[in-house]
Amino acid sequence: MAAWEANVRKVIPYTPGEQPNRADIIKLNTNENPYPPAPGVARVLQKMDTEVLRKYPDPTAGALVSALSERYKMPEEQIFVGVGSDDVLAMSFLTFFNAKEPVLFPDITYSFYDVWAGLFHIPYECQPLDANFEIVTEDYLKPCGGIVIPNPNAPTGAEKELAQLERIIAANSDVIVIVDEAYIDFGGESAVRLISEYENLLVVQTFSKSRSLAGMRIGYAFGNEKLIKYLNDAKYSFNSYTMNTVTIAMGVEAVRDEAYFQETVGKVIATREWTKRELQRLGFVFPDSKSNFIFASHPKYPAKELFEALKQEGIYVRYFAKPRIDNYLRISIGTDEEMKALIAFLDEYVGENI
């Protein structure tokens, strides 16, 4: 090792889902929304004057914060925006997790949490999910340096009851509790309504899933005014201009079209429920998903085998070669036609042994 490498901050990076460069595939591996964003988003692109691009964007993303404030009935001072929820979460780790005690989060969860902890030299402990892939409330009722609860969880899709989340938040008033709600719009109960009662609560959401803007990178958080000020202080010390002008304008249009939002979310939910029934018919087992994906296993067919067979067919799902979950596939919910194609293939592959 070269001498200069001794001072390099070394981390094992997050591994995103595969983005295949292949035509005519069914892409069900990265939890993207199968439907286009709200029509107003396209109009922004059509009408955008390139003159605005030579100027710096609004560092506060004021128009987007205002639109979120109106939609969620939340004061602007209680809203933080960033470049995707990954940016919001990373900034939150950097800002709030500075204690000597470990931060707590599940052992089976979004695999970026331990990456940020490692990057920022934050001590952490993973709390094991139970045999049903449920978060155990009592594991988070102990001294710690902070807590992160994804709800619904990924990659399992399971939701934690809000009453149990509140127990965790109330029992940890001396540290920040982050509830990561990337998938909340697909059937879960949001913790946003608890913000007025608990000053240690930060709720993070995203435009990537339910608002079909994964490619534009918009995330946001709700918390009391003091938390949001601390986050903005850290953000402006890191990079004042994190969100570009076009993204801000698109985000505003996506938030304002509530009817389209409800329509597309409703489609995903309906297709998810149909897919659950079909997978159960084929002998798959899975936690009850409240997200836009299903975390499924088959007792007779190894997940790795199914993953490879589906890939050969041009159907991409997500496989995790990790302890406890290496016999599960995470299947994103696509259009009705895409999910019917998935089930038709599985019907041939596993149907004879039903």
Segment 217-229 mean pLDDT: 97
Winning range, highest mean pLDDT, from 20-34, 210-224, 238-252? 210-224
- Tokens 């995330």, located at residue: 219
- Residue bearing tokens 């087992």: 285
> Which tokens in the block code for residue 73?
């009935």
pTM of the model: 0.95
Where residue 178 falls (left for φ over 0; alpha for ψ -120 to 50; beta otherwise) is beta
Pairing of strands 103-106, 219-222: unpaired
Provide φ and ψ at 242, rounded to 5°.
-85, -25
Distance CA 86, CA 191 (A): 19
Find, among 9, 232, 31, 220, the residue nearest to 116 by Cα: 9
AA identity, residue 344: A
Q: φ, ψ for residue 122 (rounded to 5)?
A: -100, 125
Instruction: Convert the pLDDT of each residue in 31-69 to its tens digit.
Output: 999 999 999 999 998 888 888 889 999 999 999 999 999
Q: Count Cβ atoms within 10 A of the Cβ of residue 49 and give its class: 0-12 exposed, 13-18 middle, 19 or more buried.
A: exposed
Length of the chain: 354
The average confidence (pLDDT) of the chain is: 95
Q: Say what the pLDDT of residue 247 is.
A: 95
H-helix or E-strand spanning residue 28: none
**d(C-alpha 267, C-alpha 29), whole Å:** 18
Torsion 265-268-269-270 (CA) sign: positive
Report H helices in the chain: 39-47, 62-72, 84-96, 113-119, 162-171, 225-238, 245-256, 258-281, 303-312, 336-350
Q: Is the pLDDT of residue 353 over 70?
A: no
Which pLDDT band holds residue 354 (cuts at 50, 70, 90)?
Answer: low
Locate 243 and state its tokens: 């969100």
Give the span between the Cα atoms of 69 and 81, in whole angstroms: 11
- pLDDT given at position 146: 98
Name, in order, each residue with C-beta under 8 angstroms of 23's C-beta and a sequence gap of 6 or more.
Answer: none
Per-residue pLDDT reduced to its tens digit, 247-286: 999 999 999 999 999 999 999 999 999 999 999 999 999 9
| Closest alpha carbon to 293 in 319, 255, 313, 314 | 319
- Please give the Cα distance from 188 to 65 (Å, whole number): 23
At a CB cut-off of 8 Å and minimum separation 6, what does 344 contact?
none
